[in-house]
Amino acid sequence: MNLVIDIAVTHVRSRLRQTLVGLLGVAMGVGFSVMMASLMEGSQRDFVSQLVDSLPHITMNDERRSPPRQPAEDAFDTIAISGLRTPETRPGIKNPYAIMAELEGWLNGAVAPSVETRAVIRYAGRDTAASVIGVDPRRERYVSKLPTQVRGGDLDALYKSSNAIIIGDKLAQKIGARIGNTIALASGRGEVMSCTVVALFHSGIAQSDETQAYTLIKTAQILAGQTGIINAMRIRVADIMQAMSVAGRIEAQTGYKSVSWQEANEDLLSAFEIRNFIMYTVVGAILLVASFGTYNIISTITHEKTRDIAILKSLGFTEGTVRRIFLIEALLIGLAGTVLGWVLGYALCSLLGTIEFKSPFMDATHLPLYYTPKHYALAALVALTASAIAGYLPARKAARQHPVEIIRGAS
């Protein structure tokens, strides 16, 4: 065996108890880090997938990001235009079915038309604002999880009666309506329409469950008072990470504002970034604390081994060789601790995975954990780096000692 490794191994082996303590320190650091990372990323992924899966990945609507050029600007060198007003009704997407066909030509995913409008639901003497979305049930199943979220019926129930409506379960609870009840929808222009609740839906996202309702496109068009209008396209892509670039392409092609799930949930995603930052800080701190144990051990060993260091140097060992001996000792502790920490981390994750939670606010009964070699590699990297630094400092000090002074002191 290599001489340096041989001496290093002998040193750590002859201090079994100290070595074990240091090793356990690193192991716990690595173990808890792995567990925490798995938990944090697990819950984040769980949340994102719930969020992303239940809604279309991209929504294109009839707005534009910047106001359209006015004909006057094309005709004259106009400096400023004032007094323009937004039209009171939504303009709708021009030639929606042509656009859909065009998008379907290249898109790896699906497109479905929809009409978004707002209404006030009147039931049992109470008024509740709701957003009503007119969908095409045959196409909707390819762009959102809505068909699977319908309770007490299915999406095709919308065809079963004229003016059929599916409302969020929380909304139904709020107004006290049940399946089969007839509710009144008042449009912005004051016209009232009677609709029959044919089913409920539960998306798990409180905001939609409390405020949304689905009808057929035709029903929503009548409610909006705009026959034939389509004002939003619901789009799903095969690879959710591509949503942002696909949205950009759609927008460039059609000129209509296309919002990807990433853009729609920007605040949430940036909150995740902060959360991740906090997580990595805490994980780093845990491992740093663990490395203090290693520092302590290597310090102690170099102190106890002052005489041996002087001997080795008097024999002709270089400073570099002496330094390497103690550095390797620290890395041995770090390495063994890391491997043990991996086992510990995996065990902790498995244990957490078996715990059941019963909460009225959550659908999940188990902690969402995410397993990836990345967490293990990252914890190992930090642990080994910390060990190397923890070993290097005392090793450098030890290697610099002047052998003469020690030899004088000892003889």
Applying CB under 8 A, among 10, 78, 194, 385 the residue interacting with another protein is 10
Q: Which stretch binds another protein (CB under 8 A): 6-14, 220-228, 230-238, 288-296?
A: 6-14
Q: Which stretch binds another protein (CB under 8 A): 57-65, 256-264, 388-396, 399-407?
A: 399-407
| Residue closer to another protein (CB basis): 66 or 411 | 411
Token pair, residue 335, equals 């390495």
Closest CA to 314 of 403, 196, 405: 403
Applying CB under 8 A, among 181, 187, 296, 321 the residue interacting with another protein is 321
Contact flag: residue 404 with another protein (CB under 8 A):
yes
Q: Which stretch binds another protein (CB under 8 A): 100-108, 252-260, 363-371, 402-410?
A: 402-410
Applying CB under 8 A, among 311, 335, 389, 393 the residue interacting with another protein is 311
Contact flag: residue 403 with another protein (CB under 8 A):
yes
Q: In 135-191, which residue ranges form alpha helices assigned H by DSSP?
A: 137-140, 146-149, 169-175
Cβ neighbours of residue 188 under 8 Å, at least 6 residues apart?
A: 117, 118, 119
- In angstroms, what is the minimal distance from the CB of 395 to another protein? 16
Contact flag: residue 306 with another protein (CB under 8 A):
no
- In angstroms, what is the minimal distance from the CB of 10 to another protein? 5
Phi then psi for 165, rounded to 5 degrees? -140, 145
Contact flag: residue 410 with another protein (CB under 8 A):
yes
Contact flag: residue 270 with another protein (CB under 8 A):
no
Applying CB under 8 A, among 154, 319, 370, 389 the residue interacting with another protein is 319
- Strand 109-123 with 182-186, pairing: antiparallel
Count of C-beta atoms within a 10 Å radius of residue 248: 14
Contact flag: residue 408 with another protein (CB under 8 A):
yes
- In angstroms, what is the minimal distance from the CB of 4 to another protein? 9
Contact flag: residue 350 with another protein (CB under 8 A):
no
- In angstroms, what is the minimal distance from the CB of 2 to another protein? 9
Contact flag: residue 313 with another protein (CB under 8 A):
yes
Applying CB under 8 A, among 316, 354, 355, 356 the residue interacting with another protein is 316
As a 3-state breakdown, the chain gives helix, strand, coil percent values, each rounded to 5, of: 60, 15, 25
Cβ neighbours of residue 243 under 8 Å, at least 6 residues apart?
A: 57, 58, 237, 260, 261, 262
Contact flag: residue 16 with another protein (CB under 8 A):
no
> Helix (H, G, I), strand (E, B), or coil: what is residue 401?
coil
Burial class (CB in 10 A: 0-12, 13-18, 19+), 9: middle
- In angstroms, what is the minimal distance from the CB of 404 to another protein? 5
- In angstroms, what is the minimal distance from the CB of 410 to another protein? 6
Cβ(365)–Cβ(356) under 8 Å?
yes
Applying CB under 8 A, among 314, 350, 372, 385 the residue interacting with another protein is 314
What is the tally of helices (H) and strands (E) in the chain? 16, 10
Phi then psi for 391, rounded to 5 degrees? -85, -35
> Helix (H, G, I), strand (E, B), or coil: what is residue 53?
helix
Applying CB under 8 A, among 72, 315, 355, 362 the residue interacting with another protein is 315
Token pair, residue 31, equals 């173990």
Q: Which stretch binds another protein (CB under 8 A): 226-234, 289-297, 357-365, 403-411?
A: 403-411
- C-alpha distance across the termini of the chain, in Å: 32
> Helix (H, G, I), strand (E, B), or coil: what is residue 216?
strand
CA torsion, ordered 301, 304, 305, 310, to nearest 10 deg: 140
Contact flag: residue 11 with another protein (CB under 8 A):
yes
Q: Given the rule CB under 8 A, which residues bind another protein?
A: 3, 7, 10-11, 14, 307-308, 310-321, 403-404, 407-408, 410-411
